[in-house]
Amino acid sequence: MNHRGRGKKGDGLTRREAIQAGLLGASGLMLPLHVGAGTLHAARRTGKAKSVIQIWLWGGPAHLDTFDPKTGIGQDYTGPFTSPIATNVDGIQVNELLTELAKVADKYSIIRSMTHGVNAHETAAYIVQTGRAPGDGHVWPGVGAVTSLFRGYDAGYKGLIPPYVVLTELQGRFSESGFLGYKAKPFATGGNPAQPRFVVEGVVAEGITDERQRDRRELLHRLDTLGSALKGNTLVSALSDCENQAYDLILGEGRKVFDLTQEKEDLRTAYGRNTFGQSCLMARRLVEIGVPYVTINYRGWDTHKQHFQAMRRMLPEMDRGVATLIKDLSDRGLLDTTIIWWSGEFGRTPRVQWEPPWNGGRNHYGPVFCSMVAGGGFKGGHVVGASDARGEEVKDRPVHPRDLIRSIYMLMGIDPDATLPHPQGLDVRVCDKPAAGGGPLTEIM
């Protein structure tokens, strides 16, 4: 096996080293976080959604320049984006560069009144992805970790690919698994799906051919005198099963999931020949084989400087990837069972910062921002809530992150009020209670 890709100091064995050692392999990635069968049964409800694709715009997208465009308030707020475009749903407009998303607005709903009031990346990311405010003595798990608990191996998931996958790198803003621990951590693929060969951490070794991997396995077997001497031993048999699963992930069906060359060239082009576009395609392939939770961490949205130059490059890229994902899932009959959750940790300041050194930038802004949801039981063609004329405050129907997260759990068939396993045996629940005046997004469920 390849010896690259070592983890950070203190992390213990990396995934690749575990496979290398033949001790855990793919099974090590798939060790369930054990909770009582009764607990899982009690937490299950009938849910329409089977998977979630979380599109995380790392850094915070500007609500005024995406799904909450404004007119007639001056370029100090709109910048050069003065001409929002109509969508295929009467009365709903989006930014003028979101031409492809405008064609499929009937399949998604926009939440224009997200709020938490926090302008710091780490805290805001924690709140939006856990639904909890920091400072209560707990490190809460994110939605992906909770979903992998209730929809993962203890709940009947049998896939070789772990139940919670991140494309392609972790944020490092907070602990995704929280107090659920390392077994609920996501599998971060690393690599770049837009490259000719998607080098997936622990699965696809850079510079090592499949033939060489097979030769190494054969050599390992020839050197394994202990295994030969203890044939029939229960522990040796279990380790052999782990090895078989690991190599199936590396050389068998599991590996094929990450091989985007199996997709038609015109579809790959439709998604966009870039890291984000191909990540969207990869996410579709993962939910197609039943992976419950996939996060796409999409960098570049912390646009303090030269914001509009960045948007002219990134908005069309985002537009193309997300719109094609929606259409592709719909065409394959997967949109009804797959939630798409588009969000960042906050929005950006409605008033443009023209002065040096920003030269047309937007700062962090937590009082009001946008999210978009599609599929899995969420209705399309709707707008929830509203910001005021300048996008500075919530005008109607404030939606807190816990409200949206509770809605996602409900559609996934996860009881938001079920008990979570806690290392200290504390009585803690899947989701925080609804905010005052808030609650699940029943208007679009």
| The 187-188 sheet, strands edge to edge | 187-188, 164-167, 293-298, 51-57, 338-343, 369-374, 108-114, 382-384
**23 and 13 together in one domain:** yes
Residue 306 per-residue DSSP state: S
Q: Of 213, 239, 257, which closes a domain?
A: 257
Please, are residues 301 and 344 in contact by the beta-carbon 8 Å criterion? yes
DSSP output for 218-252: HHHHHH-HHHHHTTT-HHHHHHHHHHHHHHHHHHS
Structural domains in the chain (count)? 2
**117 and 234 together in one domain:** no
Please, are residues 124 and 116 in contact by the beta-carbon 8 Å criterion? yes
Pairwise CA distance, residues 332 & 326, whole Å: 10
Domain containing residue 78: CATH number: 3.40.720
Q: Of 257, 274, 297, which closes a domain?
A: 257
Pairwise CA distance, residues 170 & 385, whole Å: 31
**199 and 68 together in one domain:** yes
The residue among 143, 148, 121 whose CA lies nearest residue 132 is 143
- Tell me what pLDDT residue 14 has: 44
Q: What is the pLDDT of residues 14-56, one digit of tens each?
A: 444 443 333 333 334 444 444 544 455 445 556 799 999 999 9
Q: 340: domain range? A: 35-204+264-444
**240 and 387 together in one domain:** no
**18 and 81 together in one domain:** no
Query: Distance between alpha carbon 277 and the CA centroid of its chain, in Å?
Result: 14
**14 and 140 together in one domain:** no
Kindly report the CA angle at 275 between 208 and 298, in degrees rounded to 5? Answer: 125
**75 and 224 together in one domain:** no
The pTM of the full predicted model, rounded to 2 decimals, is 0.84
Q: What is the pLDDT of residues 345-355, one digit of tens each?
A: 999 999 999 99
**209 and 286 together in one domain:** no
**420 DSSP β-pair partners:** 428
Pairwise CA distance, residues 146 & 143, whole Å: 5
Report the 10 Å Cβ neighbour count for 309.
12
**20 and 138 together in one domain:** no
**15 and 108 together in one domain:** no
- Tell me what pLDDT residue 225 has: 57
The residue among 127, 61, 126 whose CA lies nearest residue 364 is 61
Q: DSSP 3-state assignment of 370?
A: strand
- Tell me what pLDDT residue 182 has: 85
**191 and 249 together in one domain:** no
Q: What is the pLDDT of residues 136-166, one digit of tens each?
A: 999 999 999 999 999 999 889 988 899 999 9
- Low-confidence stretches of the chain (pLDDT beneath 50): 1-34, 36-38, 41-42, 216-217, 219, 236, 243, 247
Q: Of 214, 239, 257, which closes a domain?
A: 257
Please, are residues 430 and 415 in contact by the beta-carbon 8 Å criterion? yes
**26 and 40 together in one domain:** no
Kindly report the CA angle at 120 between 118 and 126, in degrees rounded to 5? Answer: 80
Please, are residues 339 and 53 in contact by the beta-carbon 8 Å criterion? yes
Residue 152 per-residue DSSP state: S
**Alpha-carbon distances, residue 297 vs 59, 125, 166, 292 (angstroms):** 10, 12, 7, 17
